[in-house]
Amino acid sequence: MDYVLGVLTLIAIWVIAVHGYMLIKGLGGLLHLGHAVFFGLGAYTAAILSREVLPAGAYPASLLAAALVAGAGAVAIGVPALRARGRYFMLVTFSIQLAFFTVVSNLHGLTGGPDGLSRIPRPQLGAWTVAAPGATLALVVGLAVLSFLFCHLTIRSPYGRLVRAVRDDEIAAEGAGKRAAAVKLSIFVLGAGVTGFAGGVFAHYMRYVGPTQFGLDLVVLFLVMLVLGGQFNLLGVTVGAVTVGVMIEALRFAPLPRGSEAFLHQVLFGGLLIAILFIRPEGLLPERLPRHRRPAGGGPPARVEAVRAHRREAPDGVALRAEGLVKRFGGVTALDGCTLDLARGRITAIIGPNGAGKTTVFNLVTGFVRPDAGRIHVGAQELTGWTPERIAALGVARTFQDVRIWPRLTVIENVLAAMRWRRGERPVLGLPILPGVRAEERQHVERAWALLERFGLQDKADDPGGALSYAQQKMLALARLTALDPAVMLLDEPTAGVDVCRLGTFLDHIQRFSAQQGRTVCLIEHNMDVVRELADHVLFMNDGRVVAEGRPEEVMADQELMAIYLGHAPVEA
């Protein structure tokens, strides 16, 4: 019986470690192959402190220190490693995993070298030493439950929603004013802390730690548990860890031919995993998206009225000015001394042939590409060289030509994630059980529902963004941009691909941004009917600079400009 209790205790420790892996890989989308490093850092920290520093009965302090040291290790690894994306990040963390074994094997005075550390104190709470197998199992299961609750609250918090948005598309997140690099580092550190906590529990349970316990086989074990259970579902990874642990122990007692048990154990284990994943390719439990209730009193959406006929007067002045912008990509000059002004409260359209540099202007203005020369001002503030998130926070935001929504977030979450938060998007401090966070979330949800009703997406609120039609995704991009509440809106081909039946609705929304809300709007557009309907002012670009500007009817009446746009010589009268 003690053997069974011991196995269950070890499985419960694995559950906590896989919770940390789920935060990093499932929630954050960061595939790293060095998870055993954090488990080992926590185990060694707890072992060293409990043997040499902490008094008896300081078991909680030992576990907290294990989490903090593992988190500090994640900062040391993550700051340089997160500069490398995708497979390169994976290779960097894999290299750290290989180096960890060598380092701890050679720190004889601290880690005990290859022999490791033994005689680690048992868990002790005050005067009570937890020694009985049943009591140890109850303690560790209780810690696993606390880990589950903490991770669940983190996932369901505004911060967890932000992490998922960065996981889906960090460029779109930066365009919404979010610091994607800091978000990725924070979830990396948080997951490492949970795993280090598990390592501390492991050290006190095993009463011995050594380098061979934290090798590649443990990384593979954690990864299998994560994938089998369903990496995007916290309950799923918990079930996955228990399932794998039970499978490993059950196969030990399988009646197999003598002499080949180890080989056949691996074959059977691998075959069972393949069979399960073949039946459930997303894992035992797929991701469950949260649902948001419509606030009480929410009625049918108000009809979007045409506002083009009753434009209000906009204040005079220039909202955004770009001077002498130059950008070269290798031997190609995309912008060559481009200068433009966007009038405050007006709609400006940028037209021109493909390759004229229109989208490059937006990329430079919003910070996604740095100019080789030139300056950009918003009011009196120069923002040349600023990062995208800083520019968005100033009030200059954009949509993208390729409709960068967050496909694995629901429609209402797409809107919520774009809003400005004071508390909810901070790790740990943004847990939804905190009163201030709950109040802020409630206010934002009410505003998000109002925006969905305004843009006609209220019936799709709990659908994944990736399940929308192309036109609905375009509309969601406008709703998300409105949620950010920018003073200057840059719309990159907002009506491209939209069918004629829906086009009028798009035009009304865009006109409303300027006419009723006083925003400065600049759009890149190839549909001349849209330009004629919306624009107060038109800029014509060719060869990387503005070659003409004026009212829509003036620019479109210029045969030479239209010939450039259409790609042929002007027709002689």
Among 441, 467, 493, residue at a domain's last position? 467
pTM over 0.85: yes
Task: Note the pLDDT tens digit of each residue in 126-151.
Answer: 778 888 999 999 999 999 999 999 99
pLDDT band of residue 501 (cuts 50, 70, 90) is confident
Judge contact between 400 and 175, C-beta under 8 A. yes
CA dist list (Å): 314 to 115, 396, 508, 509: 76, 18, 17, 17
- Whether residue 221 lies inside any domain: the answer is no
Among 215, 244, 277, residue at a domain's last position? 215
Nearest-angstrom CA–CA distance, 341 and 209 = 66
CA dist list (Å): 35 to 67, 217, 399: 13, 11, 37
Task: Note the pLDDT tens digit of each residue in 111-126.
Answer: 999 999 999 999 988 7
Q: Are residues 411 and 400 in the same domain?
A: no
- Whether residue 537 lies inside any domain: the answer is yes
Q: What is the CATH number of the domain that holds 378?
A: 3.40.50.300
What the block records as the tokens of 528 is: 């001349």
- Whether residue 495 lies inside any domain: the answer is yes
- Scanning the structure block, which residue is given the tokens 């691998």? 270
DSSP state of 58: B
Share of the chain above pLDDT 70, in %: 94
DSSP state of 464: B
- Whether residue 478 lies inside any domain: the answer is no
pLDDT band of residue 306 (cuts 50, 70, 90) is very low
Judge contact between 455 and 506, C-beta under 8 A. no
Helix (H, G, I), strand (E, B) or coil at 169: coil
Q: Are residues 500 and 449 in the same domain?
A: no
- Whether residue 421 lies inside any domain: the answer is yes
Q: Are residues 150 and 72 in the same domain?
A: yes
pLDDT at 312 over 50: no
The closest of 96, 72, 441 to 292, measured between CA atoms, is 441
Average pLDDT, the chain: 90
Report the Cα–Cα distance between both ends of the chain, in Å, rounded.
100
- Whether residue 252 lies inside any domain: the answer is no
Residue 354: its H or E element: none
- Whether residue 266 lies inside any domain: the answer is no
pLDDT band of residue 311 (cuts 50, 70, 90) is very low
pLDDT of residue 297: 59
Q: Residue 422, Cα to own-chain centre: how many angstroms?
A: 18
CA dist list (Å): 149 to 18, 24, 28, 474: 14, 16, 18, 37
CA dist list (Å): 338 to 383, 385, 387: 16, 16, 21
Q: Are residues 446 and 457 in the same domain?
A: yes
pLDDT at 310 over 80: no
pLDDT of residue 307: 40
Burial 456-492 (b: 16+ CB within 10 A, else e): bbbebbeebbeebeebbbbbbbbbbbbbbebbbbbbb
CA dist list (Å): 16 to 45, 74, 110: 17, 17, 26
Helix (H, G, I), strand (E, B) or coil at 535: coil
* Contacting residues for 164 by C-beta, under 8 A, at least 6 apart: 27, 406, 408, 409, 413, 417
**Number of domains within the chain:** 3
- Whether residue 441 lies inside any domain: the answer is yes
Q: Are residues 451 and 428 in the same domain?
A: yes
Judge contact between 187 and 160, C-beta under 8 A. no
Nearest-angstrom CA–CA distance, 347 and 532 = 11
Q: Are residues 400 and 429 in the same domain?
A: no
Q: Are residues 201 and 148 in the same domain?
A: yes
pLDDT band of residue 569 (cuts 50, 70, 90) is low
The closest of 409, 479, 490 to 451, measured between CA atoms, is 479
Judge contact between 515 and 311, C-beta under 8 A. yes
Q: Are residues 164 and 73 in the same domain?
A: yes
Q: Are residues 110 and 177 in the same domain?
A: yes
What the block records as the tokens of 44 is: 């060694």
Nearest-angstrom CA–CA distance, 432 and 150 = 11
The residue range of the domain holding 92 is 2-215
- Scanning the structure block, which residue is given the tokens 């909680």? 60
Helix (H, G, I), strand (E, B) or coil at 384: coil
Q: Are residues 340 and 462 in the same domain?
A: no
Residue 568: its H or E element: none
Q: Are residues 441 and 368 in the same domain?
A: no
Among 467, 497, 512, residue at a domain's last position? 467
Task: Note the pLDDT tens digit of each residue in 355-405.
Answer: 899 999 999 999 999 999 999 999 889 999 999 999 999 999 999 988 899
Taking residues 44-50, what's their average pLDDT? 95
Q: Are residues 24 and 42 in the same domain?
A: yes
Task: Note the pLDDT tens digit of each residue in 430-454.
Answer: 888 888 898 999 999 999 999 999 9
pLDDT of residue 159: 95
What order do you get walking across the sheet with 318-329 strand by strand? Answer: 332-343, 318-329, 373-378, 381-382
pLDDT at 305 over 60: no
